[in-house]
Amino acid sequence: MKKTRLCQLLGIEHPIIQGGMSLIASAELAAAVSNAGGLGIISPNAREPDWGKVAHNLREQIAKAKGLTDKPFGVNFSIQLIGEDRTLIDTAIEQGVRVVTVGAGSPALHTRYFKEHGVKVLHVVASVRHAKRAEAEGVDAVIAEGYESGGLNSPDELTTFVLVPQVVDAVDIPVVAAGGIADARGFVAALALGAEGVQMGTRFIPTRECIASENYKKAILEAIDTSTVIMGRRLIPTRALKNELTKEVLEKEAAGASPQELLSILAPGLTAAAALEGDMVHGQVLSGAVAGMINEIVSAGDVVRSIMEGYDRIVAGLKD
């Protein structure tokens, strides 16, 4: 396939971005994706649940990635986590990072600062209004993420298939589709909707380079179409694999529990308990709805290559 504007913007061969999954988007995974021609992304707290050590951890992760690849890679920032504090941002800039994905907050907060330092910014959006605001603030591209995606979601709950074409029509900058994409079929569909690339998170969890616990990877492989659920709608809608934790939260929500009561259940550390320690019963097992389509552990590079090879086959079939 010909290169899209996203490829030109990021200096990558294939318009595939790895999601910046908290705790598990490490240097090893990012480098593997970048070496295959996509854009690997590092999470500042990869391997490190102690937020007080994250700045040092980010330096180490960036240094490790540089030792594993000479291709472009980026860092993901959650505005919900960093707020107005630019310590981690400055760390990334000082270490030579030139691409960031940013989400869970307003693009007005840090976009111009990134741009002043020569950093390309891709902002995650969940509605046309958010996309227009991000473009107005000067971001280089938007990642239109439908609520099929794992982890935090928008209360608007727009699906990827509905969201992406409307965002494409509303902005002039490149649009990346995210949420519910795991193979060449989803990739082709995203491009047909007008996107110029895709971002995938869940598909990269059951890969050899991902540091996620083996229990986590196995849970995704065993998932079916109805294995995930949105919980926490009275806080922030979050998609995860069904387990005792999601059952308890949903029951409390149905009974009218206050946000404070829900927060007492969703204690800090539950994501790390699942992702790093393998607690699939009481941990928060973040996963996209697309988990039901994933049935094998492969290398991250093979994920990228299979999508690009499948693209050619699918497009050729559509022309017949």
CATH of the domain at 20: 3.20.20.70
Q: What is the span of the domain harbouring residue 307?
A: 5-212+296-319
Q: Do 230 and 315 belong together in one domain?
A: no
Count of the separate structural domains present in the chain: 2
For 3-36, the three-class secondary structure string (H helix, E strand, C coil) is: CCHHHHHHCCCCCEEECCCCCCCCHHHHHHHHHC
The percentage of the chain sitting over the pLDDT mark of 70, rounded to a whole number, equals: 100
Q: Do 282 and 249 belong together in one domain?
A: yes
Chain-centroid distance, C-alpha 300: 15
85's CB contacts (< 8 A; 6+ apart) are none
How many CA atoms does the CB half-sphere of 2 hold within 13 Å?
2
Q: What is the predicted pLDDT for the residue at 136?
A: 96
Chain-centroid distance, C-alpha 277: 21
Q: Do 31 and 170 belong together in one domain?
A: yes
Q: Do 277 and 180 belong together in one domain?
A: no
Q: Do 119 and 235 belong together in one domain?
A: no
Q: Do 244 and 304 belong together in one domain?
A: no
| Amino acid (one-letter) located at 117 | H
Would you say residue 293 has pLDDT above 90? yes
SS3 (DSSP) at 220: helix
- Across 34-38, 108-112, 171-175, 185-189, least confident range: 108-112
Q: What is the predicted pLDDT for the residue at 260?
A: 86
Q: Do 307 and 256 belong together in one domain?
A: no
Q: Do 83 and 174 belong together in one domain?
A: yes
Would you say residue 67 has pLDDT above 70? yes
Would you say residue 106 has pLDDT above 90? no
Q: Do 173 and 73 belong together in one domain?
A: yes
The percentage of the chain sitting over the pLDDT mark of 90, rounded to a whole number, equals: 82
The total of other beta-carbon atoms located within 10 Å of residue 279's CB is: 21
Q: Do 51 and 137 belong together in one domain?
A: yes
Q: Do 168 and 78 belong together in one domain?
A: yes
172's CB contacts (< 8 A; 6+ apart) are 135
Q: Do 72 and 168 belong together in one domain?
A: yes
Give the mean pLDDT of the chain.
94
Please give the Cα distance from 214 to 182 (Å, whole number). Answer: 20
The pLDDT confidence band at residue 320, using thresholds 50, 70 and 90, is: low
Q: Which of 46, 129, 108 is nearest to 121 (CA)?
A: 108
